[in-house]
């Protein structure tokens, strides 16, 4: 069954009102018609009741309907909600020749207009139906727009929540990375201490040399002063030699103190060749004692690397010590260990530690970097595992290859800083 359509008909001409009421009754629409004859009565009725449709004469005795339409112009809301009409659909009745005005009225918010001379039951029924349909469609569009906006708000809230979660995850990951770095440094520190513990005897021997020399120079000088055979030039020469030896001892202690120190990982631009030379300086004594030729082939003008210098030195120290252990089993003239630095590609440096030692069986090669893998009686098997973690934490790689004839070569790479070369002098020679 069709719903009852509540219509407010406003016309100041009673004959016209009768004609419209008659046409509506004949139209077949289920209508309930309320009548009014002025703008004032229209305002009153609108304030009092709800209507499905208004049928308004354009020109009423107390004014034009435009005023009422303007009073009800939908106002845009501040929160972006689509403007909501406050009037039901409006059909304007115009006299002949009033179409231009009717079009104006439609711009002002009317839904349709109907020239009075075309007033037939079917024409008014069509106009009312159209007006209701347009009104419903507009309401549906507004609802759809509201739904869409609601979904946008919900989706934005979801995305904001996801964003917050992601940020939290990043903070947590950052913290975890920080903890992992700290852990690595702790592990590396323990390993450095145990390596230095192993090296203690050699280091003591290394220190004894300059200290012994200082003592000898001092005694010799003192004797010559007692015998009154010393002259000023000779004494100055001896003091210069003493100072030189004291400096040598001081450097050894300085390098040791740096390696023993325990502090937060600290990335800074560094000259890789210089880092290597410092470590080799600590190992030179032992190499000489074991009759090992320790050779440096350092490429000049390498770009600086951004590293924690102590950690990289620890890697070099570990690789050199392993190579020294490996070649120590050979007859003295075959004991060679070489350290090489070079540029690898456009943005990396590569370090190679090459030895002529016995190498190792192919099936063992893959396991050298496993934690606790060792073939030494007093080995811990942690050195290479820690070295690999250190290099990877610097975004580099550490790997091993057997040499064509004898021994192994350990390689590691480090990314360079994107700055100019350091201008290090080329160094090649035996220590
Ligand atoms: P550790 O020195 O305590 O054994 P590392 O992790 O430094 O621990 O080394 C693990 C093992 O790798 C060594 O025990 C040794 O068998 C092997 N290795 C390391 N470097 C060499 C090398 N240059 N030549 C032959 N074997 C090596």
Say how many Å lie between the CA of residue 404 and the centre of ligand 1: 19
Say how many Å lie between the CA of residue 207 and the centre of ligand 1: 27
Say how many Å lie between the CA of residue 378 and the centre of ligand 1: 11
Q: Which of 193, 314, 379 to mutate to test the pocket of ligand 1 (most atoms within 8 A of CB)?
A: 379
At 318 the pLDDT is 94
Exposure string of 227-256, with b = 16+ CB inside 10 Å and e = fewer, is eeebeeeeeeebeebbeebeebbeebeebb
Residue with CA at minimum distance from ligand 1 atom 17: 368
Residue 173's alpha-carbon distances to 144, 161, 166, 167, 294, in angstroms, are 42, 18, 10, 10, 43
User: Does ligand 1 have an atom closer than 6 angstroms to the CB of 300?
Assistant: no
Residue with CA at minimum distance from ligand 1 atom 19: 322
Say how many Å lie between the CA of residue 37 and the centre of ligand 1: 109
Say how many Å lie between the CA of residue 81 and the centre of ligand 1: 74
Residue with CA at minimum distance from ligand 1 atom 20: 322
Q: How far apart are the C-alpha atoms of 50 and 8, rounded to whole Å?
A: 9
At 431 the pLDDT is 45
For residue 412 the two structure tokens come to 């590691």
Walk along the chain (431 residues) in steps of 10 and give the mean pLDDT of each run: 85 94 92 95 93 92 89 70 76 77 79 87 91 88 90 94 95 90 83 83 83 93 89 91 93 84 80 94 88 96 92 94 95 96 95 96 91 88 92 94 95 83 44 45
User: Does ligand 1 have an atom closer than 6 angstroms to the CB of 384?
Assistant: yes
User: Does ligand 1 have an atom closer than 6 angstroms to the CB of 381?
Assistant: yes
Residue with CA at minimum distance from ligand 1 atom 7: 383
Atom of ligand 1 nearest to the CA of 384: 6
Atom of ligand 1 nearest to the CA of 385: 6
User: Does ligand 1 have an atom closer than 6 angstroms to the CB of 322?
Assistant: yes
User: Does ligand 1 have an atom closer than 6 angstroms to the CB of 173?
Assistant: no
User: Does ligand 1 have an atom closer than 6 angstroms to the CB of 52?
Assistant: no
Q: Which of 336, 362, 368, 402 to mutate to test the pocket of ligand 1 (most atoms within 8 A of CB)?
A: 368
Closest to 71 (Cα-Cα) out of 99, 43, 94 = 43
At 420 the pLDDT is 43
Say how many Å lie between the CA of residue 375 and the centre of ligand 1: 7
For residue 293 the two structure tokens come to 């030729």
Q: How far apart are the C-alpha atoms of 8 and 202, rounded to whole Å?
A: 112
What is the DSSP secondary-structure string of 91-127? EEEE-TT-HHHHHHHHHTT--EEEEGGG--HHHHHHH
For residue 42 the two structure tokens come to 């229209």
* Phi/psi-derived region of residue 97, left when phi > 0, alpha when psi is between -120 and 50, beta in every other case: left
Q: What DSSP state is assigned to residue 328?
A: T
Say how many Å lie between the CA of residue 323 and the centre of ligand 1: 8
Three-class SS state of 56: strand
Say how many Å lie between the CA of residue 178 and the centre of ligand 1: 29
User: Does ligand 1 have an atom closer than 6 angstroms to the CB of 357?
Assistant: yes
Say how many Å lie between the CA of residue 326 and the centre of ligand 1: 8
User: Does ligand 1 have an atom closer than 6 angstroms to the CB of 73?
Assistant: no
User: Does ligand 1 have an atom closer than 6 angstroms to the CB of 402?
Assistant: no
What spatial distance separates the first Cα and last Cα of the chain, rounded to whole Å? Answer: 109
At 423 the pLDDT is 43
Atom of ligand 1 nearest to the CA of 386: 6
Atom of ligand 1 nearest to the CA of 322: 20
Say how many Å lie between the CA of residue 108 and the centre of ligand 1: 92
Residue with CA at minimum distance from ligand 1 atom 16: 375
Torsion angle of C-alpha atoms 103, 106, 112, 118, degrees rounded to 10: -30
Say how many Å lie between the CA of residue 354 and the centre of ligand 1: 13
Say how many Å lie between the CA of residue 374 and the centre of ligand 1: 6
């Amino acid at each position: 069954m069709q719903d009852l359509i509540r219509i407010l008909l406003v016309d100041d001409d009673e004959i016209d009102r009768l004609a419209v009421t008659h046409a509506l009754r004949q139209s077949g629409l289920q209508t309930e018609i309320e009548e009014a004859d002025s703008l004032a009565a229209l305002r009153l009725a609108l304030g009092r009741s709800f209507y499905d449709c208004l049928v308004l004469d354009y020109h009423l005795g107390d004014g034009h309907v435009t005023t009422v339409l303007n009073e009800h112009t939908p106002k845009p809301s501040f929160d972006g909600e689509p403007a909501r009409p406050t009037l039901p659909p409006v059909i304007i009745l115009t006299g002949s020749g009033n179409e231009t005005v009717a079009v104006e009225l439609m711009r002002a918010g009317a839904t349709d207009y109907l020239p009075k001379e075309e007033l037939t039951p079917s024409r008014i029924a069509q106009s009312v139906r159209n007006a209701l349909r347009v009104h419903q469609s507009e309401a549906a569009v507004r609802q759809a727009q509201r739904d869409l906006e609601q979904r946008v708000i919900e989706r934005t809230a979801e995305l904001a929540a996801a964003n917050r979660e992601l940020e939290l995850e990043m903070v947590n990951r950052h913290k975890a990375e920080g903890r992992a770095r700290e852990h690595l440094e702790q592990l590396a520190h323990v390993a450095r201490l145990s390596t230095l513990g192993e090296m203690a005897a050699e280091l003591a021997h290394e220190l004894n040399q300059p200290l012994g020399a200082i003592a000898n120079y001092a005694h010799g000088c003192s004797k010559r002063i007692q015998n009154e055979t010393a002259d000023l030039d000779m004494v100055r020469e001896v003091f210069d030699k003493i100072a030189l030896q004291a400096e040598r001892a001081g450097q050894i202690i300085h390098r040791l103190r740096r390696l023993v120190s325990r502090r937060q990982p600290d990335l800074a631009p560094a000259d890789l060749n210089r880092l290597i030379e410092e470590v080799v300086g600590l190992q030179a004594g032992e190499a000489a004692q074991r009759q090992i030729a320790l050779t440096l082939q350092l490429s000049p003008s390498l770009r600086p690397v951004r590293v924690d210098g102590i950690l990289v030195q620890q890697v070099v120290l570990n690789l050199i010590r392993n190579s020294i252990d490996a070649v120590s089993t050979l007859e003295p003239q075959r004991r060679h260990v070489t350290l090489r630095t070079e540029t690898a590609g456009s943005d990396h440096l590569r370090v190679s530690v090459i030895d002529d030692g016995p190498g190792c069986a192919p099936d063992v090669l893959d396991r050298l970097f496993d934690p606790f893998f060792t073939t030494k009686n007093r080995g811990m098997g942690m050195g290479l595992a820690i070295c690999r973690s250190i290099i990877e934490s610097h975004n580099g790689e550490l790997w091993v290859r057997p040499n064509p004839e004898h021994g192994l070569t350990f390689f590691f790479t480090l990314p360079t800083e994107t700055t100019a070369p350091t201008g290090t002098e080329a160094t090649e020679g035996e220590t």
